[in-house]
């Protein structure tokens, strides 16, 4: 394992640590609630607790040596779904991608200058149907 690469990639996500209020800037309330990111002891995994209107679950993000990228596993409590994502943060742009048999797509969002907000759009295909929504996250602590 290239520990230096792993540490650089993981530390790039440090600006996510904290609690975020999530809303739909279009006012459609497609997504609303909170999420909290925190480092697991040892700093090798970033854990996100998700409590949104449509989804409640936990996501664990870590370095994947095989792909040399940040991969996550999301577990949704109410439906029992398990989804896998890839995270990439370059400069002020966060990209979260999914490429699974039942869902393919991505979120692309941008942080503001002081990292207190990021907003973007989810677009994906699920079971042959195009889906998506706008999302805005404001740091609350």
Tell me, what DSSP letter sits at residue 40?
P
> 28: which 2 tokens?
């459609």
What would the DSSP string read from start to end of 37-59?
EEEPTTSSEEEEEEEESS-EEEE
Count of beta carbons in the 10 Å neighbourhood of residue 98: 20
Q: Which domain holds residue 85?
A: 3-139
Task: Determine if residue 27 is left, alpha or beta; phi over 0 gives left, psi from -120 to 50 gives alpha, anything else beta.
Answer: left
Total count of domains within the chain: 1
Span 122-135, pLDDT tens digits: 999 988 889 888 89
State the pLDDT at residue 32.
Answer: 87
CA–CA separation, 124 vs 39, rounded Å? 28
Span 70-91, pLDDT tens digits: 999 999 988 888 999 999 999 9
pTM above 0.75, yes or no: yes
- CATH number of the domain to which 47 belongs: 2.40.128.20
Residue 91: partners with Cβ closer than 8 Å, 6 or more residues away: none
Task: Determine if residue 128 is left, alpha or beta; phi over 0 gives left, psi from -120 to 50 gives alpha, anything else beta.
Answer: left
The residue written with tokens 């929504």 in the block is: 133
Asked if residue 4 has pLDDT above 90, the reply is no
């Amino acid at each position: 394992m290239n520990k230096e690469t792993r540490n650089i990639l993981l530390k790039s996500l440090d600006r996510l640590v904290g609690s975020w209020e999530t809303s739909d800037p279009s006012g459609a309330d497609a997504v609303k609630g909170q999420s909290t990111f925190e480092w697991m002891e040892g700093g090798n995994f970033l854990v996100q607790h998700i409590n949104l209107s449509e989804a409640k679950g936990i996501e664990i993000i870590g370095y994947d040596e095989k792909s040399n990228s940040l991969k996550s596993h999301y577990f949704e409590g109410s439906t029992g779904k398990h989804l896998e994502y890839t995270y990439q943060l370059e400069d002020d742009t966060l990209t979260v991608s999914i490429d699974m048999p039942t869902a393919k797509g991505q979120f692309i969002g941008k942080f503001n200058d002081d990292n207190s907000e990021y907003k973007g759009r989810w677009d994906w295909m699920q079971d042959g149907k195009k889906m998506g929504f706008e999302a805005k996250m404001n740091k609350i602590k």
